Amino acid sequence: MELTAEVLNITAGGRRIAILGEETARLLGVHSSDRICITYCERQIIAIANVATHFPKKRIGLYEEISDNLGVKTDETVDVHLAQLPESLRHVRAKLHGERLREHDMVTIVKDVVERHLSEVEIAAFLTALNIYGLNMGENEALSRAMVATGDTLDFGEAPILDKHSIGGIPGDKTSILVVPIVAAAGFTIPKTSSRAVTSPAGTADRVETLCPVNLSIKEIKGVVEKTNGCLVWGGALDLAPADDLFIQIEYPLGIDPLLLPSIMSKKKAIGATHVVIDIPTGNGAKIKNMTQAYSLASDFVDLGMRLGLTIQCALTFGEQPIGHAVGPALEAQEALTALMGDGPADLREKAVSLAGTLFEMVGVEDGRKKGEHILNSGKAEKKLREIIEAQGGNPKIQPDEIPVGTNRAEVTANQAGRVLWISTADIAAIAKAAGAPREKGAGVILKAKLGEAVKKSGALLEICAERASKLESALELAKKLQPVVLSKKPEEQMLLDRVPENIAGDKPFMLER
Amino acid sequence: MELTAEVLNITAGGRRIAILGEETARLLGVHSSDRICITYCERQIIAIANVATHFPKKRIGLYEEISDNLGVKTDETVDVHLAQLPESLRHVRAKLHGERLREHDMVTIVKDVVERHLSEVEIAAFLTALNIYGLNMGENEALSRAMVATGDTLDFGEAPILDKHSIGGIPGDKTSILVVPIVAAAGFTIPKTSSRAVTSPAGTADRVETLCPVNLSIKEIKGVVEKTNGCLVWGGALDLAPADDLFIQIEYPLGIDPLLLPSIMSKKKAIGATHVVIDIPTGNGAKIKNMTQAYSLASDFVDLGMRLGLTIQCALTFGEQPIGHAVGPALEAQEALTALMGDGPADLREKAVSLAGTLFEMVGVEDGRKKGEHILNSGKAEKKLREIIEAQGGNPKIQPDEIPVGTNRAEVTANQAGRVLWISTADIAAIAKAAGAPREKGAGVILKAKLGEAVKKSGALLEICAERASKLESALELAKKLQPVVLSKKPEEQMLLDRVPENIAGDKPFMLER
C-alpha cells in the first residue's frame, strides 16, 4: 500500500520504528509490534510498527534511523506492506518455552539484535527466559561466537595476548590499573578495555579517565599498544561485540545479568586475547557469595574458554570488603598511582601481584608472583603506567595529589570502640553514589578502618568526599542510616545478621558491571 | 536541573517517554530506561528516559502524552531530576527471580501498568516470567482483582447476570451469536462483550459487525440490555480491565498467553456477571489438547470464580474441527443467522443449545438444554437476535444472503475418494486469513466436508471466498500446499502424524483471542 512519508526528524535511539494511524494499520492488516517492509526508490527496510491512536490517515511516521537509511523526505511516497515474522523471533519464542537453542538459532538472534530487527519487548523476553532457564555451555559458546562475529575484532599480532577481567561487584577495585603496567612492563601485550560504571560508583574507565583520555579509537589503541605493550581504555565506544551493549541496555532496568559468561568472553575474544585471568571476587558482599558458587562459575569460564580457543584461569579473590580504602573514580586513581609508586594499601598490591603473577605463569614464567612483585617494587610498573598515560594523551608526570578530588569532606565516626566485624560493600557503594560518584569524579568514600582493625570510640570509620556540599549532606545522612561498618568487641555481641522479609528481593544490590 | 522543553507533537502510543541527549543524561545521572521526574508549573509527571545520541544539549524531548499532561510548550523550561525506582519494579524483579507475589504487589504492578509507569521492556519481562513460572491461584486472584479495580465496571442491577466465554482457538466458532439470544429470550440478562480477531480469521465482534454496529459506549450498551436483555458488542473500546489490553499488546509479538485465567475472569467480573459458562474447546487443533489438560484448566476457572464471587461452569467441547462450515466474519454471520432461522449445521446448534442449557441449569432451570432447544426451534431466539440487532443500530430484517461475502470463489477438491480423517484447524485459519479475513469481512473458507464424511474423488473439500482476486489466488496456493483436510479410506493408510524436528515451536499456531 502506498503511504505518504512524514519524517519525524528525531531518532528512536537506534530502534527501527515507524508509526501508523489505527485505520491505516487496520487496512494494512498490521498490529502494533508487527514488522512492516518499507520500500522507497528500490531501497527496502524492515521496521517495527507502532500503531498510534491519533496519527493522520495514509501517512507513515518515520524516525531518523529509517528516513536516513531510505533517503526519503516528508510528503514523498513509500510502499508499505506487512512483513513476515523474522526467523529470529521464532527462536526467541522457542526459548520462551524453554527449548535449547542451537548455534544457528543464536546467530540469527544476535544478528537481528544488532540489525535492530528484534524489538526491545522481544529482547527483554528473551533475556528474561535466559535468566530463568539458564544457558547450557553450547548456548554460551554459540552466543559468544555470534556476538564476536557481529562486531569488530582486533589483532595485535603474535600470541600471547594477555588480558585480565573482573566479574565486578566490589567497590574500590582498581586492580587493573596496577595489573596492566606490571604485565606490560614484563614485555607482554595486554590491551585492556574497561567499562564505565552502570550501577556502581566507579568503573575502571572512569578511574583511568582522571589520569588520561580513555575514549580512543581502535587505531589509536593499536598505536598505544605498539608503543607501550598495554593500554587502559574505554571499550564502550568500540564496536566489539555490540550485541552485548544492546543486551546490557535491556538488562539494566530489569536488574538481571544472564549473559555474564558470553558477555565477558566475547569481549575478550574480540580484542584478540589468548590468555585471560578472570577475577571472581567471592564473599557476602560480592556477586558470588561463597566458594562453591565461585568454583562452579570458574569451571564454566574455563570450559567456555576452551571452546572458544582461549586459555583461562580464574582467580577467586577475597570479596568481603572494598579493595584498598578509596571508592570513587578520582580517589581510586590516586590510590592506584600511590600503590604503583611504592606505597598504598597492602591488599591492593597483593591482589595486583597475584593476578599479574597468574598471567605470567599461564604463559610459562616460573614463579610469576615473584616476577610481579619485583616489577611493582622496582618502580618499573609505575614507569610503564606513565608511558601508557602519555601514549593515551595524559600528563605522564601526574602526581596523586594533582588528581582533583572533592573538597567537601566529612568523617563518619564510631560510637563505640571495637574491631571492624564486617563492612557492607553495597552500602559503601550507595554512599559513594550519594556523594556524587561516578559522574562527579572527585566524589566518593575513603574507608578509615578495614576488617579486623581496631577503632577507638569516636575514631574515624570512613570519610566522605563530595564536589558539592548538598551531596555531602545526602551521603552523610545515608551513611548514618546504613551504618556500613559494623564494630564489635566480640562477634557474639551482634548475632542478628538480617531479618526476613524486612529486606525484599528488589532491594538487593545489583551490579551489572563486568 | 532545568531543561528546555521540545514538544515533539507526536504520541508515543500511550507510553510516557521523554528524550534526553547523551550529555544531558550524564549530567542528570540518568541512564536509558531510568525514570525521570518532570516538573512544570507545579505539575509533575514521571516519565521513562530514552537517551538519544544526537539530541540537543540541555533540552528534553516530550511526546504528546507528557506535554499534554503538563501543558508545556516548546522552549519553556521544565525541571527534571532522576526519580526513584517505582515500587512496582521491585515486585517485577522479584517475579523475575521466581518469587511469589502478594496481593499488594500485584495491585502495585497493575496500577503502574495502567498509569504507564512501567516500560514495555519491564512488562515484557514480567509476562515472560509469569509464562515460565506460572501463577498460583492467589496470584491469579490478586491479578484479576487488580485488573478490575483499575478499570470501569458495569452494574446491570438484579442478579443473576449471565455470560458466556470461550477460551478461543477454534476457527468458525460463532456460538455466541446463538447463545446470547437464546438466553435473552428466556428472560435472563446476558451482556456479552467480545473481542476482535488478533491472530485468528474472525472474532465474535468482527462477525456481529456484519449484522449491526458493535462499537457501543457503556451508556448505549445499558440501553440495549435494558430493552432486549442482551447485547453482542465489542469490548475493546470500553475501559473494562484496561491492564489486560496493555498486557495483550505485549504478549502478541511474544506469542505467549500467561494470563488466560485472570484476563477472562477480570472482564467477566467488570461486566458484573454472576454466572458464567466457560467454553473450553478440546482437541489436537485447539489450545487445550486433551481432556486431562481441559479438566485441570476447568478446575482452575471454577476455583478462581469462587474466589472472585462468580459461579462458573466449564463446558469441555469438541475441538477437533471448525464449528459449522463457515470461517470468516461475514460467512460466519450468515451461518449463525441461518441456524437461528431453523436451518444451519447441527454441531453449531448442538453446541449453542448445550451452552445455553448449562447457563439455564446454573440458575436453577430444570433440563436447561431442553429449554434452550425449545427457544431455538420455536424461532424465539431468532426474534431476539433481531431485537438486539435493531437496538444496536442494525437492520432487524436482514436475511443471510443480504450479508455481503466475497465473490471471488474457488473450490479445493479431493484427489482421491475417502472419508475425512482429520482437519487442521490451524491450516483452515491460515487459509481464511490468506483470503483476507478478518479485515476483509467477506473473505474466508467454507468447509464442504467435515470429520467422518465421505468425499468422492474430485469432490469439494472446501471453498475459498475472497473480496479480491489476488487474495483468492494466495489462499488457493496456500490450501494446496497445506492440504488441511486429510482423507483416508482406512486410518492405517496415513500413519505418519508429524515429523520432528520438521515443525519447530515457532511454527505452532498461536491464538491470543479469548
* pLDDT, average across residues A216-230: 96
Surface of B (192-231) touching A: CB under 8 A: 198
Residues of chain A positioned with their CB less than 8 A from the CB of B132: 96, 98, 128-129, 132-133
Contact predicate A86/A117, CB 8 Å: yes
Contact predicate A225/A189, CB 8 Å: yes
Contact predicate B32/A13, CB 8 Å: yes
Strands B444-447 and B311-318: unpaired
Please say if the pLDDT value at position A508 is more than 60: no
Q: How far is CA B154 from CA A126, A447, B189, B243, in A?
A: 38, 62, 13, 17
Give the DSSP letter string of B354-410.
Answer: HHHHHHHHHTT-TTHHHHHHHHHHTTHHHHHHHHHHHHTTS-TT--GGGS----EEE
Contact predicate B17/B55, CB 8 Å: no
Cell numbers for B246, please give them: 496493555
pLDDT in tens, A362-414: 999 999 999 999 999 999 999 999 999 999 999 999 999 999 999 999 999 99
Please say if the pLDDT value at position A507 is more than 80: no
Name the residue among A10, A14, A85 with its Cβ closest to that of B8: A10
- The Cα–Cα gap between A121 and A99 comes to 19
pLDDT in tens, B147-206: 999 999 999 988 899 999 999 889 999 999 999 999 999 999 999 999 988 889 999 999
Strands B43-52 and B162-166: unpaired
Q: What is the mean pLDDT of chain A?
A: 92
B341: contact with A, CB 8 A cutoff: no
**DSSP assignment letter at B101:** P
> What pLDDT shows up at residue A272?
95
A103 pLDDT band, cuts 50/70/90, is: very high
Give the DSSP letter string of A80-113.
Answer: EEEPPPPHHHHHHHHHHTTPPPPHHHHHHHHHHH
B29 pLDDT band, cuts 50/70/90, is: confident
Residues of chain B positioned with their CB less than 8 A from the CB of A254: 92-93, 96, 121-122, 125
Location of C-alpha cell 466474519 = B329
> Which amino acid is it at A86?
P
Contact predicate B376/B178, CB 8 Å: yes
Task: State percent of chain B over pLDDT 90.
Answer: 80
Please say if the pLDDT value at position A231 is more than 70: yes
Please say if the pLDDT value at position B41 is more than 70: yes
Beta carbons within 8 Å of A419's beta carbon, 6+ residues apart: A452, A453, A454, A455, A487, A488, A489
pTM, to two decimals: 0.88
- The Cα–Cα gap between B462 and B448 comes to 5
- Residue A255: name the closest of B96, B30, B131 by CA: B96
A84 pLDDT band, cuts 50/70/90, is: confident
Cell numbers for B412, please give them: 479445493
Contact predicate A419/A488, CB 8 Å: yes
Name the residue among B97, B99, B439 with its Cβ closest to that of A26: B439
B129: contact with A, CB 8 A cutoff: yes
Cell numbers for B502, please give them: 520438521
Cell numbers for B387, please give them: 431485537
> What pLDDT shows up at residue B506?
46
* pLDDT, average across residues A328-347: 96
pLDDT in tens, B286-344: 999 999 999 999 999 999 999 999 999 999 999 999 999 999 999 999 999 999 999 99
- Residue B440: name the closest of B209, B235, B134 by CA: B209
| DSSP-based three-state secondary structure for B68 | helix
Tell me what ipTM this predicted complex has: 0.86
A97: contact with B, CB 8 A cutoff: yes
> What pLDDT shows up at residue B396?
97
Cell numbers for B489, please give them: 479410506
String of b and e for A100-123 (b: at least 16 CB within 10 Å)? ebeeebbbbbbbbbbebbbbbbbb
Q: Nearest residue on chain A to B507, judged by CA atoms?
A: A90
Which DSSP helix (H) or strand (E) runs through A49?
Answer: strand A43-52
Mean pLDDT lowest for which of A152-161, A353-362, A381-390? A152-161
Tell me which of A105, A163, A257, A427 is the catalytic residue.
Answer: A257
A308 pLDDT band, cuts 50/70/90, is: very high
CB contact under 8 A, A253 and B119: yes
Please say if the pLDDT value at position A111 is more than 50: yes
Contact predicate B6/B85, CB 8 Å: no
Please say if the pLDDT value at position A493 is more than 70: no
> What pLDDT shows up at residue B505?
46
Contact predicate A330/A210, CB 8 Å: yes
| DSSP-based three-state secondary structure for B149 | helix
pLDDT in tens, B119-154: 999 999 999 999 999 999 999 999 999 999 999 999
| DSSP-based three-state secondary structure for A173 | coil
CB contact under 8 A, B11 and A54: yes
> Which amino acid is it at B298?
A
Strands B460-466 and B408-413: antiparallel
How many Cα atoms are found within 13 Å in the side-chain-facing hemisphere of A489? 5
pLDDT in tens, B374-400: 999 999 999 999 999 999 999 999 999
By the 10 Å C-beta count (0-12 exposed, 13-18 middle, 19+ buried), B136 is classed as exposed
pLDDT in tens, B397-426: 999 999 999 999 999 999 999 999 889 999
Name the residue among B12, B51, B505 with its Cβ closest to that of A13: B51
> What pLDDT shows up at residue A15?
84
- The Cα–Cα gap between A455 and A261 comes to 40
Bridge partners, A412 (sequence order) = A462
CA of residue A80 relative to chain centroid, distance:
40
| DSSP-based three-state secondary structure for B317 | strand
String of b and e for B29-44 (b: at least 16 CB within 10 Å)? ebbbbbbbebebeeee
- Residue A255: name the closest of A78, A168, A131 by CA: A131
By the 10 Å C-beta count (0-12 exposed, 13-18 middle, 19+ buried), B364 is classed as exposed
CB contact under 8 A, A54 and B507: no
Backbone Cα Rg of chain A = 25
Give the DSSP letter string of A268-290.
Answer: HHHTT-SEEEEEEEESTTSSB-S
The alpha-carbon gap from B210 to the nearest alpha carbon of chain A, in Å, equals 17
Helices (H), B116-258: 120-133, 137-149, 176-185, 204-208, 218-228, 242-254
- Catalytic residue at A257? yes
Sheet holding B275-282, edge to edge: B162-166, B275-282, B311-318
Q: What is the mean pLDDT of chain B?
A: 92
> What pLDDT shows up at residue B502?
56
Contact predicate A479/A462, CB 8 Å: yes
CB contact under 8 A, A253 and B121: yes
A37: contact with B, CB 8 A cutoff: no
A511 pLDDT band, cuts 50/70/90, is: confident
> What pLDDT shows up at residue A499?
67
CA triple A53-A58-A59, angle to 5 deg = 75
- The Cα–Cα gap between A363 and B162 comes to 78
pLDDT in tens, B215-250: 999 999 999 999 999 999 999 889 999 999 899 989
